[in-house]
Structure 1
């Protein structure tokens, strides 16, 4: 992937999850983000999320705000495909996502029955397609789908054209992966990528890995992950966003701005490296 100077960048809701959707759109516009992700489903029991029902005042206000600020909604998160999963339970969320113009739904796989997981992923892709959306499967070290190659295998087994595997820089590293894992993957299976940074050393326990992922990420370029190498391996048309939840007392806008500026600095560094390479 060649990073242009005006490359659009999205802001994952998890970076500043305390900010409601309307305010998130305005915050993103002030900083320079082109798009936002929205947390319309709890990532785990008790986790915060927001609702924007179709036909509601909240939906009308959200659409007006997006149009006025010039910021789109790229993706909706976050769904766990576990043994009790039923795609039809997500119909209302997908209706809202479609009304907002969202393009992707992010999920993880946590069902030990691989055949059932593949079937449920396929059903969700079929349901999402009816709203003009695709589905991205994300690997996590503490889930059943615990590596990027495993995520790709599920996506390929499901065989749906709108299915993909989300590339998250932290999860790729913490599940033993590297940018080279992307080489053999068809480009149409990688539609979305999330950037952040972290120390090179993987935390020593599952609990510590979860804590790092949920509250101790670093802005891109402030750690040791091979982000320029990762960017070089991504398809040219992938949608980039930053997902950097941090344990910080700084105001949400200050955190989001810091992450944006750090990412722009990283992009420039990667461009320089690319120009200097033989």
Structure 2
């Protein structure tokens, strides 16, 4: 069984590898993200090789493309690895042709996970579709993980876990912001089958959802952003670890100590003022401080 932290022995994991998700700086092309992440001190990246809708502009990282070849070269030069590729959106008509490209690109990048979200109102059908994604991804050595999000059809850990359990090997992706906005608690996280856990994305935020308006300017790569404040916050206004009230240390303490951690924290104002390099470095320093912090905890066998 994976160890969990409870309340007596200090737990700190300063050497745990740390990644950064592409959404944090989606305006950087994949090769530039790899280089900038390496300069900032990250160990891995997540790369957005597909989009969840028809409006967002994809980075041209098709198999055999110059951009994919350059991305692979920079991964080799820097030693940065690829934690995950994204994003597959489960919809009523989703078919293998809709996600095969992500798997083909992912295996060339050495990705471990495939990020999946759900836009299908029929969760039974979504479960069947996800099981198909898992079966196909096994050929590529990639593990799909479904992510609960407050403004998507799968908006709870229990829904995500139910879909993952019905597949043969799929998992659940945790995101600190989405957990809070979905109304999940640490007890809900503790209750999740450890075998379903894949990795955790971290960012910080106020405890209560702030009032946020959709930005007047287009988002990077022309992402779709509605008027739902939870979506606006998720895409434009996340905070570095420690700058909010989400209890990130407590969250990490109830997760297996070897679970991969990745920063997913887009903030349009902050990246605009700091520039991508300083922005990623700030996130890296904040996340490393969090991993070094350690709070009292007792591990259960």
Is this a same-fold pair by TM over 0.5?
A: yes
Match of 2:205 among 198, 211, 220: 198
- 1:97 maps onto 2:106 in alignment: yes
How far off is 1:219 after superposition? 0.6
Match of 1:88 among 85, 97, 118: 97
Structure 1 SS opposite 2:228: helix
Report what 1:51 is aligned to.
Answer: 60
Question: What is the CA–CA distance in structure 2 between the aligned matches of 1:60 and 1:142, rounded to whole Å?
Answer: 35
> Do 2:205 and 2:239's aligned partners in 1 also have CA atoms closer than 8 Å?
yes
- 1:242 maps onto 2:242 in alignment: no
Unaligned runs of 5+ in 2: 5-10, 213-226
Unaligned runs of 5+ in 1: none
Report what 2:224 is aligned to.
Answer: none
Report what 2:240 is aligned to.
Answer: 219
Question: What is the CA–CA distance in structure 1 between the aligned matches of 2:266 and 2:69, rounded to whole Å?
Answer: 29
Which structure carries more relative contact order (alpha carbon 8 Å, separation 6+)? 2
Alignment of 1:1-278 (within 5 A): 2-158=11-167, 160-161=168-169, 163-203=170-210, 207-248=228-269, 249=272, 250-269=274-293, 271=294, 273-274=295-296
How far off is 1:55 after superposition? 2.8
Tell me how large the CA RMSD over aligned residues is: 1.9
How far off is 1:276 after superposition? 11
Structure 1 ranges of 4+ moved more than 3 A: 203-206
TM-score by length of 1: 0.92
Question: What is the CA–CA distance in structure 1 between the aligned matches of 2:14 and 2:199, rounded to whole Å?
Answer: 19
How far off is 1:268 after superposition? 2.5
How far off is 1:68 after superposition? 0.9
TM-score by length of 2: 0.86
